[in-house]
Structure 1
Amino acid sequence: MTGHKQHPSASATSPDDARSGSKLTGRSRGRELALWILCHLESHPGAERDALDLFWREPPRLELGDDFLGPLAAELGPLLADSAARRWSRRLVEGFLADAAGIDETIEAASRRWRLVRMDRVDRSLLRLSTVELRGESTPRNVVVAEAVRLASRYGSERSAAFVNGVAEALARVLRDAQPDEPDEPDEGADP
């Protein structure tokens, strides 16, 4: 991730989380893992399913040449070992792969002057994950936006947090008009 600020940590907590004394939920860690997976899949255009299968089967093999995740494979171990994070990340990534073209169209419509190809890989991946959650998951919209901004601040460029915040808010407005306001089910472990 060009211009990223830090790598995923074994504890999966940010400085803000440490100050507040809170630990990230399985869903928060799952979003972080899903971000890494979506960024990794971009290195395998046309072979996303095969790359995803390999990611789940043998993460250490990523060290053999993946330009994005290779050096971080060891640091991803704790996230991969977290069953709640794995479940949530799998749900998010599969949600994106099930309708990648539709999700990308929604993002381009909400981002107005920004085409996906011009966006930083981290920003693009975060917006894709946010769209999956905003489209029908039970996570409250404000949590989806806040989590995207948190991850953009942590892994994106200097401008990522503001950019992701603006586009994610626009996505929430667009998708709110297309869906009922009430979540399908309570969000267990929703982030504050």
Structure 2
Amino acid sequence: MTDHDPNQGAGGSKGPPGRARGRELALWILCHLESHPGEERDAVELFWREPPTLETGDEFIGPIAAELRALLDDGVAGRWARRLTQAYVNDMISVDAAIELASKRWRLERMDRVDRNLLRLCAVELRAEKTPRNVVVAEVVRLAARYGGDRSPTFVNGLAEALAQALRDVTPPEPEPEPEDPGAVT
């Protein structure tokens, strides 16, 4: 018998290990890309070739370093993270434009780095994947609660819902009024 729980995510979080962990790793990568403006494609490859090294002995950084290492060692998470980050890099301008359009009051550059990159992941997955919208929104809110500031979950939830509305048009169109039957008795 083993102590390994197949539903155990990185750092002890519950959830599907593959895609949920892949989103988490993709968040790390998208934040990394911001340090390499104009060189995003090279920065993605750099991340995979030379992942950030964090000191495991530090009481604050140690758990994060172990978590990142576990994410990098998870093949399913790595494949999903590559797919999401590649989709973003391939279409950065329109992904960012979709976020700007959904955000009535916040310009992208004024958003917190974690929030901004979670919204990028949300937009990419809503546009390019068949993942249910509620799963996408719940996952980015979960990551916002974990990695963002105190107000991040609420902020990300509101904008992720707006993105889902805009990108997946979840409201059915209003039915056309039926023409009146000229022979009907009123």
Indicate the TM-score class for this superposition, using the shorter chain for normalisation: 0.7 to 0.9
CA RMSD of aligned residues (A): 2.4
Cα distance in 2 for partners of 1:12, 1:73 equals 10
Q: Deviations over 1:18-74 (max 9, x none)?
A: xxxxx43200000000000000110111122222111111215x56xxxxxx98555
Contact 1:12–1:29 (Cα < 8 Å) also in 2:
no
Cα distance in 1 for partners of 2:101, 2:10 equals 36
Equivalent residue number for residue 37 of structure 2:
45
SS in 1 for 2:169: helix
Cα distance in 1 for partners of 2:12, 2:118 equals 18
Amino acid at match of 1:119: M
1:13-162, aligned counterparts within 5 Å?
13-14=12-13, 17=14, 23-60=15-52, 62=53, 73=65, 75-162=67-154
SS in 2 for 1:46: coil
Cα distance in 2 for partners of 1:11, 1:73 equals 11
Runs of 4+ with deviation above 4 angstroms: 70-74
Q: 1:99 deviation in Å? A: 0.6
Cα distance in 2 for partners of 1:84, 1:12 equals 16
Q: Using a 3 Å threshold, how does the CA distance of structure 1 residues 74 and 47 change in structure 2: closer, same or farther?
A: farther
State the identity as a percent: 65
Q: 1:140 deviation in Å? A: 0.2
Q: Deviations over 1:73-100 (max 9, x none)?
A: 5541110110000000000000000110
Q: Deviations over 1:105-152 (max 9, x none)?
A: 000110111100100000000000000010120100000000000000
| Structure 1, 42-51 or 25-34: larger mean CA deviation | 42-51
Across the two proteins, how many residue pairs are aligned to each other? 158
> TM (normalized to structure 2)?
0.78
Q: Using a 3 Å threshold, how does the CA distance of structure 1 residues 73 and 41 change in structure 2: closer, same or farther?
A: farther
Q: Which runs of 5+ in 1 are unaligned?
A: 1-9, 18-22, 64-69, 181-192
Contact 2:27–2:117 (Cα < 8 Å) also in 1:
yes
> TM (normalized to structure 1)?
0.75
1:173 counterpart = 2:173: no
Amino acid at match of 1:55: F
